[in-house]
């Protein structure tokens, strides 16, 4: 860059790439007003006793006290934890295995890829309804196995309080792993062919190559995948509504549903805002340290 | 260019004059089951006869799905012309926010105060002396519907009260029937519990708990008895795995279930199925123990609109709904009782006549929707849907949580 000695450096820095900066103003405003503004607004009103309509009558931490003593909210949190941990593990493991298997230069790879990715094209509501039918004891898997002669076979997750969250997990995995597989496959394809050749020359077995060489090299892909899976976990809502509507007996409630139900069904905005603030907080607790480690700690080119 | 302008002006003038004669009013409601749809068609027919047009805005999925849609349309600035709510406190804040229309003038002109009975219905519509809604029917929750066929199959006589029904449960189970049908929707379980309170603990306890929100009474021995009965109900309904209330009613209609605790709107379903009261099914008001009925129901609210023609048509709709002939036609199909005391109900069936008798005697209690906010109702729903599906939740533990909800109610 040529420098004109007389001109002050600062403004030229500021007006560099002026067009790009102007172009990003709408997005900056949207982010500030809609996202940040909405967040602040929600947090402020979570300290009020707003019912059907928002009003500024502060009641301190009342909404939060009520929230954390509500059995339904505690069940919701517990369900989200179970679903979250298992969905994270299984999505990654199954997604990576499928990708690794597809990466063996098999025949009809395109066909398999399409089949695995197809569920992702369906909305959560359709996925949920489909699995509600498949898991229905009178029409679905249980009925089919029983009609084949195994009379005592019992597989009834959606009507059993203790395991209903796993019934939802199955549907969630079926829908989501295809995308994870695709991301992983892209990552695998990005690994240089020479690495494989070198590993083969050194006589390292294939599983070891994957575990100790390929996977560490795929770190950025794994991080992208993690963010995608995690955001899917926290917003879990439509799947539950379509499959069980929170039943049986509230055993499959999730935080997002609590927020919706208290804001709109119970006409208690304050309680809904308190719950959504807690959701935001839990996301922040996970995301902020990670983002700090990833982007803040050491500046990379 | 000029001719085009002229054409435009002419067209808009035409449109205006047409609108002056007949306005299209969109009316939202959640009446979608067979009996309900037949009833709402009576309203539409009567309103169309006034020269206006009823645009049906049915929202499927029950009140809990429909109300958020209705409220967000009203608060969001694209209101419908009229909408259903349950008589009570559901629209309280919308009235306070000045979003709904005041009908005091029309009410005085047509003398609703004299026509509508019991007076608590119009009171539910009145805020600061002004009338904001039109009650259209009286629904009561306190009914036990029994399938005569199911008891015949089980070889036991049809019960005449709750205790006999509980005693008959083992025989029904042996015959492969579900003794008590309760759908999975949360409000059904809360409703059943709220019916058990006046039947088992009496009217005074019911009012103490729900009107005065007396937490001591809610934790007391009378309510403990009610929880005991709810425990029976829970065992009897363990095998019922339907979702909607009308599916549960259908189990009773087809004789797969012995009975159902459900409001008198269930009657519309029996009627659509061609069943005759006393012959195919039996109804026990107040569970046959304490013949009390609540006077809840549905009311129509009218959001404020800018359009003058529509505003005029709203008044026509309000009068149509309260018109004696419409009241009879609508309520016979709906299975509810007309809000007017001065109409001919000789066409009513046995069950409805029982209800009218109790009403005439004045054995009435307010509906929980009139006493509780939606917030409280929702907390109760959370508790009872869990209680009815979780055998490990003891009645004692549930009662403790119940008392805490009542204590925090406003």
Residue A7: CB atoms within 10 Å? 9
Confidence of residue B132 (pLDDT cuts 50, 70, 90): very high
| pLDDT 10s digits, B198-207 | 999 999 999 9
Give residue B283's pLDDT: 92
Query: Which residues of A are less than 8 Å from B67 in CB distance?
Result: 264-265
* Backbone φ and ψ of A140, nearest 5°: -95, -140
pLDDT at A169: 94
- Evaluate if residue B135 carries a pLDDT over 90: yes
CA distance B284 to B269: 16
Residues of B with CB under 8 A from a CB of A: 64, 67-68, 71-72, 75, 90, 92-94, 97, 184, 241, 243, 373-375, 377-379, 382-383, 385-390, 401, 408
User: Cα–Cα distance between A184 and A96 in angstroms, integer?
Assistant: 6
Provide the CATH number for the domain formed by A61-296 in this structure. Answer: 1.10.3720.10
Contact A251 B390 (CB under 8 A): yes
Considering only the beta carbons, identify the residue of B373, B388, B408 that sits closest to A249.
B388
Q: Which residues pair with B293 in a beta bridge?
A: B364
pLDDT confidence tier of residue B17, bands split at 50, 70 and 90: very low
pLDDT for the residue A41: 94
d(CA B20, CA B12): 12
- Give the model confidence (pLDDT) of B246-286 as tens digits: 899 999 999 999 999 999 888 888 988 999 988 899 999 99
Closest CA to B56 of B20, B87, B80: B80
Q: Is A52 in contact with B64 (Cβ distance < 8 A)?
A: no
CATH number of B153-294+372-408: 3.40.190.10
How is residue A289 written in tokens? 């340290």
Residue B209, pLDDT > 90, answer yes
Cβ separation B389–A249 shorter than 8 A: yes
Considering only CA atoms, which of B132, B139, B134, B102 is closest in space to residue B115?
A: B134
Alpha helices in chain A (DSSP H): 9-14, 18-30, 38-45, 62-69, 71-102, 109-117, 124-134, 141-147, 164-189, 193-201, 206-208, 215-217, 219-234, 238-243, 255-260, 269-291
Sequence-separated contacts (24+) of A110-113 with Cβ below 8 Å: A113/A181, A113/A182, A113/A185
**pLDDT at residue B13, rounded to an integer:** 46
pLDDT at residue B9, as a whole number: 52
From B378's Cα to the closest Cα of chain A, the distance in A is 6
Chain B residues whose CB is inside 8 A of the A266 CB are: 374-375, 377-379
Q: Is the pLDDT of residue B15 over 50?
A: no
For residues B153 and B255, give the distance between their C-alpha atoms in angstroms, rounded to a whole number: 9
pLDDT attached to residue B7: 52
Domain ranges of chain A: 1-45, 61-296
Contact status, residue B73 vs residue B84, Cβ threshold 8 Å: no
Closest residue to B375, CB basis, from A161, A248, A266: A266
Q: For B140-160, what is the mean pLDDT?
A: 93
pLDDT tens string for chain A (301 positions)? 444 444 455 566 777 888 888 999 999 999 999 999 999 999 999 999 888 888 888 998 999 999 999 999 999 999 999 999 999 999 999 999 999 999 888 888 889 889 998 999 999 999 999 999 999 888 888 888 998 888 888 888 888 888 999 999 999 999 999 999 999 999 999 888 899 899 989 999 988 999 899 999 998 899 889 888 988 888 899 999 999 888 788 899 999 999 999 998 888 999 999 999 999 998 888 778 777 877 765 554 4
- Is the Cβ of A146 closer than 8 Å to some Cβ of chain B? no
Q: Across chain B, what does the average pLDDT equal?
A: 89
Give the closest-approach CA distance of B129 to chain A in angstroms.
Answer: 22
pLDDT over threshold 70, residue B291? yes
pLDDT band of B16, cuts 50, 70, 90: very low
For residue B83, what is the DSSP state?
E
- Contact flag B375-A161 (C-beta cutoff 8 Å): no
Is the pLDDT at B92 greater than 90? The verdict is no
Residue B21: the pLDDT is 57
CATH class of B24-139+295-360: alpha beta
Where do the structural domains in chain B lie, given as residue ranges?
24-139+295-360, 153-294+372-408
Rounded to a whole number of angstroms, the distance from the CA of B382 to the nearest CA of chain A is 7
- Residues B293-320: what's their mean pLDDT? 92
């Amino acid at each position: 860059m040529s420098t004109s000695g007389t001109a002050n450096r600062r403004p030229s820095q500021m007006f560099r790439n002026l067009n790009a900066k102007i172009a990003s103003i709408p997005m900056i405003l949207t982010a500030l007003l809609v996202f940040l503004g909405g967040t602040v607004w929600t947090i402020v009103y979570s300290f009020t006793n707003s019912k059907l309509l928002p009003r500024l009558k502060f009641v301190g931490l009342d909404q939060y006290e009520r929230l954390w003593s509500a059995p339904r909210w505690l069940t919701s949190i517990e369900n989200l934890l179970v679903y979250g941990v298992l969905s994270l593990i299984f999505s990654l493991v199954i997604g990576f295995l499928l990708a690794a298997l597809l990466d063996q230069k098999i025949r009809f790879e395109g066909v398999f890829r399409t089949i695995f990715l197809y569920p992702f094209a369906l909305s959560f509501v359709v996925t949920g309804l489909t699995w509600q039918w498949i898991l229905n004891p009178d029409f679905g898997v249980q009925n089919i196995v029983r009609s084949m002669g195994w009379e005592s076979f019992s597989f009834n997750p959606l009507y059993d309080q203790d395991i209903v969250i796993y019934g939802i997990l199955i549907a969630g995995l079926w829908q989501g792993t295809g995308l994870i597989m695709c991301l992983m496959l892209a990552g695998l394809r990005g690994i240089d062919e020479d690495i494989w050749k070198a590993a083969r020359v050194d006589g390292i077995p294939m599983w070891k190559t994957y575990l100790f060489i390929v996977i560490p090299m795929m770190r950025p892909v794994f991080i992208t995948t993690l963010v995608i899976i995690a955001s899917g976990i926290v917003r879990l809502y439509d799947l539950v509504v379509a499959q069980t509507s929170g039943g049986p007996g509230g055993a499959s409630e999730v935080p997002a549903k609590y927020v919706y139900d208290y804001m709109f069904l119970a006409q208690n905005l304050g309680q809904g805002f308190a719950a959504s603030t807690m959701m935001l907080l839990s996301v922040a607790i996970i995301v902020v340290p990670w983002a700090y480690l990833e982007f803040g700690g050491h500046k990379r080119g | 260019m000029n001719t085009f302008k002229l054409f435009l002006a002419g067209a808009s003038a035409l449109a205006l004059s047409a609108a002056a004669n007949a306005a299209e009013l969109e009316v939202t409601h959640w009446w979608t089951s067979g009996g309900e749809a037949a009833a709402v068609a009576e309203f539409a027919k009567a309103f169309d006869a006034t020269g206006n047009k009823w645009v049906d805005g049915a929202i499927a999925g029950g009140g809990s799905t429909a109300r958020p849609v209705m409220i967000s349309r009203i608060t969001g600035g694209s209101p419908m012309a009229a909408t259903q709510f349950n008589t009570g406190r559901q629209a309280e804040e919308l009235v306070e926010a000045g979003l709904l229309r005041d009908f005091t003038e029309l009410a005085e002109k047509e003398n609703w105060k004299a026509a509508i009975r019991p007076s608590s219905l119009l009171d539910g519509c009145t805020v600061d002396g002004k009338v904001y809604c039109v009650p259209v029917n009286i629904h009561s929750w306190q009914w036990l519907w029994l399938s005569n066929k199911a008891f015949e199959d089980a070889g036991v006589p049809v019960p005449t009260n709750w205790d006999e029904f509980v005693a008959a449960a083992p025989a029904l189970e042996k015959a492969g029937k579900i003794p008590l049908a309760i759908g999975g929707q949360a409000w059904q379980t809360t409703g059943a519990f709220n019916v058990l309170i006046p039947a088992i603990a009496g009217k005074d306890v019911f009012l103490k708990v729900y009107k005065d929100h007396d937490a001591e009474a809610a934790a007391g021995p009378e309510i403990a008895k009610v929880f005991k009965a709810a425990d029976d109900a829970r065992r009897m309904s363990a095998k019922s795995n339907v979702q909607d209330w009308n599916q549960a009613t259908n189990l009773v209609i087809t004789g797969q279930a012995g009975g159902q605790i459900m409001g008198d709107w269930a009657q519309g379903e029996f009627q659509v199925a061609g069943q005759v009261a006393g012959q195919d099914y039996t109804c026990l008001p107040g569970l046959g123990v304490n013949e009390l009925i609540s006077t809840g129901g549905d009311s129509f609210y009218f959001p404020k609109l800018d359009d003058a023609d529509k505003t005029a048509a709203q008044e026509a709709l309000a009068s149509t709904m309260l018109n004696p002939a419409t009241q009879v036609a609508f309520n016979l199909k709906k299975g509810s009782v007309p809000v007017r005391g001065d109409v001919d109900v000789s066409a009513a069936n046995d069950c409805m006549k029982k209800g009218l008798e109790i009403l005439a005697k004045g054995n009435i209690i307010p509906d929980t929707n009139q006493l509780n906010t939606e917030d409280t109702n929702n907390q109760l729903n959370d508790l009872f849907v869990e209680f009815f599906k979780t055998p490990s939740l003891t009645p004692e533990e549930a009662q403790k949580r119940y008392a805490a909800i009542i204590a925090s109610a406003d």
